[in-house]
Amino acid sequence: MDIQKVVAELKEDKGGRIILMVADGLGGLPLQPGGPTELEAAKTPNLDRLASRGVCGLMTPIKPGITPGSGPGHLGLFGYDPLKYVIGRGVLEATGIGFAVGPDDIAIRCNFCTLDGEGRIIDRRAGRIPTEESAALVQKLKAIRIPGVEVFVEPVKEHRFVVVFRAPGLGANVADTDPQQVGVPPLDPQAHDEPSQRTAQIARQFITEARKIIGQHPKANGLTMRGFSKRPDLPSYREAYGLKAAAIAVYPMYKGLASLVGMDLLGQPSTLDEEIDVLEKAWKETDYDFFFVHFKYTDSRGEDGDFDAKVKMIEQFDSVIPRVEALRPDVLIVTGDHSTPAKLKSHSWHPVPTLLVADTCRPDGATEFSERACLHGGLGHFEAMYLMPLALAHAGRLAKFGA
């Protein structure tokens, strides 16, 4: 029996309200031996106060040594075993542009490419054509009609776009058409099981129709398809935890990930302050049990390799904490979906500093929120998929296991 099944059986439809504050890519590394991490360098009087009141720990997003992408990182954070539930590339790409992938949808990442007179690929990315030019082509592709299936075509960035086929019973087991090399034509979409035969046929029709529309474009006269995928069959937050859950995020990717687990999306905030405005209003005016608030820029500045800028983003994140504390949530959690050390300019596998504040927590003597303090925290070292059970337990929302 896995932990999520146990939790689904023990969940109670009553108890405290939970706020999960996620600073994306929060964990860091010292630039110099003996130096502070970004979080340790930042002045975070509010997070330090929370650490004193609560219990800290280090959270491993997937397994030790494994660096998560945003998809698995958030799945783990949301309590879904990221090794069990895989979000396909097509679905992730669609989710990332805010497309609500439904249960009957096959989502596909597509690239415009350049074909020669013989139909062989000469540029797999169509010269990375500008986003506006690509979007205009996508606009034309929206005209494609295939009987018995709804077709969606959405621009992403440069040569990338997303196609979604919506019809009951379609399989996603179709191989990529991108041959990953030039000098050969795109591959024919090949199905690897019975329910995917129709998907492959639809894809073939789509490609044929698309070629008629874009065939004369000097660069983007062809296309390849990758990552045929269906939305993973995730139990919703309601099913898994008995929670009526809401997400507050600026970026479509995180809104999309939250909606995959059945969270409602609140507001249209474009800054952290606006996110907290939305939170305050919803806290008072709605009966959501659970709020996920996502802050992007700690990760962005880490990816830039800009240590000081990431420190500033952490300080900005710290500055809104009093507004969140003032709501007096029964459980307040602060963490990240993974580490993004400026030193590495990328996501990393390092465990993520995490704190949990609740009247029911066992404080651990930590007096600051930092990697060092979390190392000795009462939550110990734990895998992300246990964060939600811990949140529910501290909120009084889990019954006893066995008598």
Point out which residues bind its own copies (CB under 8 A).
1, 3, 6-7, 10, 29-30, 33-34, 37, 53, 58, 62-73, 82-84, 86-87, 89, 92, 343-344, 346-351, 360, 362-365, 371-372, 375-376, 378-382, 386, 388-394, 398-403
Q: What is the nearest approach in angstroms of its own copies to the Cβ of residue 49?
A: 12
DSSP letter for each residue of 25-48? TBB---SSTT---HHHHS--HHHH
Q: What is the nearest approach in angstroms of its own copies to the Cβ of residue 148?
A: 31
Per-residue exposure over 117-131, b if at least 16 CB sit within 10 Å of its own CB, e if not: eeeebbbbbbbebee
Residue type, 247: A
Q: Which is nearer to its own copies, 68 or 171 (CB)?
A: 68
Q: Which is nearer to its own copies, 117 or 399 (CB)?
A: 399
Q: What is the nearest approach in angstroms of its own copies to the Cβ of residue 74?
A: 10
Q: Are 50 and 189 in contact (CB under 8 A)?
A: no
Owner of token pair 């958030």:
74
Q: What's the longest Cα–Cα distance across the chain? A: 73
Q: What is the nearest approach in angstroms of its own copies to the Cβ of residue 90?
A: 11
Q: Are 165 and 202 in contact (CB under 8 A)?
A: yes
Cβ neighbors of 106 (< 8 A, separation 6 or more) are 90, 164, 165, 166, 170, 171, 172, 174, 199, 228, 229, 230
Q: Which is nearer to its own copies, 19 or 384 (CB)?
A: 384
H-only helix segments in 142-271: 194-214, 237-241, 252-260
Q: What is the nearest approach in angstroms of its own copies to the Cβ of residue 216?
A: 33
Question: Which of 234, 271, 265, 263 shows the shortest CA–CA distance to 252?
Answer: 265
| Three-state secondary structure call for residue 13 | coil
Q: What is the nearest approach in angstroms of its own copies to the Cβ of residue 61?
A: 9
Q: What is the nearest approach in angstroms of its own copies to the Cβ of residue 222?
A: 24
Q: What is the nearest approach in angstroms of its own copies to the Cβ of residue 338?
A: 9
Q: Which is nearer to its own copies, 152 or 349 (CB)?
A: 349
CA dist list (Å): 398 to 80, 238, 273, 281: 17, 14, 33, 27
Q: Which is nearer to its own copies, 258 or 388 (CB)?
A: 388
